[in-house]
Amino acid sequence: MGDCNPVHADPSFAASTRFGQVVAPLAMLDVWTKPGLTYERNPADPQGAAFEGLDRAGFTSAVAVASELSQPRHLVLGDSVRSTITLESVTPEKRTALGHGHFVTARQDFFVGTEPVGHSRFTVLKFRPSGDQRQPTREPAQIPDSDGMEEVERDSLGTLRAASLQAGSPIPAVSIPVTTTMIISGALMTFDYFDAHHDRDAAIRKGSRDIFMNIHTSLGLVERCLGGWLGPNVIWRSMKARLGVPNYPGDVMNVTGNISSADAYTGRTTLHFLVTNSLGMHAQGSVEVELPVQ
């Protein structure tokens, strides 16, 4: 996904950071326990049972619509991660741009041994496909030139200091071309073998106009864009996102945002992000991190 933060891959560099070792990206939290290509829905799983029942009722297609990730600590090499899942809600039938359907929300809790290491809340729309009728609403957003942005103070590792940030200040905008290869490789790298992310015929049968990017890739790219600006020595605490229109091949994913708050004494910083394409809002949400204070 183009995330070049050396704290994820370079043991020597990671040893010089506050982590002292290689750590995993927050956006991968709900990926580690995925079964990959061998996936078979388990009807004894509460989320799986809900999906089975909705399939029988004719709501056979699915698309992710929201994700919340949080972690008390980063995962490190050698961690053996397990998870439990709880079905939180299934809404009454609703009319959406993709067809009539139900929103299914589940919570996943992650553990290393008995230690809680993360939580996710994930919402999926299970719908009866009627075909995606959404059309481009405007030209892709123009990305502003960030060369004139105010200089910010960084530590010796190139990481922003919280004291140098002001609420309301913009973050550098990034424009990412969306290709078929990116969509497919992103899905496979995150162990997501849902056919609408790699099989165009299957995606069309499920009510989409083409394959579309999975939520894990979208969040991974957001973490890449924000993290590339923040720097490597950052503790990522949480990421919350609500999805809108899909990222289809041939479009452009524009990532913008601003600083919501920054505490110079604790380093706790909140950023708001907005991702758009030619159809409108693809994703928006917030990220909480801890920046260096000295």
Question: What letter would DSSP give residue 22?
Answer: -
CB 74 within 8 A of CB 110: no
Q: Tell me the C-alpha distance between 166 and 107, whole Å.
A: 34
Structure tokens at 84: 């439990």
Alpha-carbon distances, residue 14 vs 9, 10, 46, 226 (angstroms): 8, 6, 39, 19
Segments of the chain scoring below 70 in pLDDT: 131-151
Query: Contact 146/239 with Cβ under 8 angstroms?
Result: no
At residue 188, the pLDDT reads 94
The residue assigned the tokens 């919350």 is 240
Angle subtended by helix axes 180-189 and 215-230, to nearest 10: 90
DSSP secondary structure of 212-239: ---HHHHHHHHHHHHHHHH-SS-EEEEE
Q: What is the predicted pLDDT for the residue at 148?
A: 41
CA count, 13 A, side-chain hemisphere, 251: 27
Domains annotated on the chain, with CATH: 6-142+152-290 (3.10.129.10)
Beta partners for residue 170, in sequence order: 258
- Whole-number Å distance between alpha carbons of 149 and 151: 6
Q: Nearest Cα to 224, choosing from 209, 214, 212, 234?
A: 234
The token pair that represents 257 in the structure block: 């945002």
- pLDDT tens for 222-258 read 999 999 999 999 999 999 999 999 999 999 999 999 9
Read out DSSP for 107-170?
Answer: EEEEEETTEEEEEEEEEEEEE----------SSPPPPPP-TTSPP--B-TTSPBPGGG--TTPB
